[in-house]
């Protein structure tokens, strides 16, 4: 199986090239990514626990799913593809905010991403892909916030950054998943 490429971007999110995913993470170069946040009707966030054999952040809790866009793929198309691959369902997604972050890991890899936040609504049980996801759960946003303070080591670095920086933004969704 060939390694997937990531889309290299500049600070304006303009594509400047492609690079194998692992090389981009070793070199810490800026590339495009997305993070999906799925909420239920009770405004609880679906979290996933990363599979225990992931090459970084194994067994840590994070947002519903995240990954990298493929060349020619929109943010929404990429989010739906990965949501199906990891969590076993697809919902309508809407683009929210985007930002740049950098998170180095103990294994020498670095996430340096221009991240696009995608938001969706879902009320059923996912059919998780066990090679990607070890477990899942619904959590109220306040409980996530409190648990991250008490147990930061249980969460991925990118999720802590996203959640802290944009907590107010994700907390003002109405029952349709739209901003109030």
* pLDDT tens for each residue of 152-178: 999 998 899 888 777 766 555 444 444
3-class state of residue 125 by DSSP: coil
Q: Which of 158, 148, 84, 159 is nearest to 122 (CA)?
A: 84
Active site residues: 66, 113
pLDDT score at 109:
86
CA 150 to chain CA centroid, nearest Å = 22
Give pLDDT tens digits for 77-87: 999 999 999 99
Rounded alpha-carbon distances, angstroms, from residue 30 to 20, 81, 100: 13, 22, 8
Better-predicted residue by pLDDT, 30 or 180? 30
Q: Mind listing the pLDDT tens digit for each residue in 65-107?
A: 999 999 999 999 999 999 999 999 999 999 998 999 998 877 7
User: What is the model's pLDDT at position 131?
Assistant: 95
78 and 67 Cβ atoms separated by less than 8 Å: yes
The residue among 132 and 106 whose pLDDT is bigger is: 132
Tell me the whole-structure pTM to 2 decimals.
0.90
Length of the chain measured in residues: 180
Segment 117-129, tens digit of pLDDT: 999 999 999 999 9
Structural domains present in the chain: 5-170 (3.90.79.10)
- The radius of gyration of the chain from alpha carbons, rounded to an integer in Å, stands at 15
């Amino acid at each position: 199986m060939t390694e997937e490429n990531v889309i290299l971007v500049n600070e304006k999110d303009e594509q400047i090239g492609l690079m194998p995913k692992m090389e981009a993470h070793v070199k810490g170069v800026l590339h495009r990514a997305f993070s999906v946040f799925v909420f239920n009707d009770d405004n609880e966030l679906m979290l996933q626990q990363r599979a225990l054999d992931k090459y970084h952040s194994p067994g840590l809790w994070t947002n519903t799913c995240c990954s990298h866009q493929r060349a020619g793929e929109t943010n929404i198309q990429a989010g739906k593809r990965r949501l199906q691959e990891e969590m076993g369902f697809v919902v309508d997604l809407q683009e929210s905010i985007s930002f740049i972050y950098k998170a180095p890991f103990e294994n020498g890899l670095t996430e340096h991403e221009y991240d696009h936040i995608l938001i969706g609504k879902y009320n059923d049980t996912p059919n998780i892909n066990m090679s990607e996801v070890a477990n899942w759960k619904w959590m109220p946003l306040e409980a996530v916030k409190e648990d991250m303070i008490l147990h930061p080591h249980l969460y991925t670095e990118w999720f802590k950054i996203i959640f802290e920086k944009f907590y107010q933004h994700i907390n003002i969704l109405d029952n349709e998943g739209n901003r109030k």
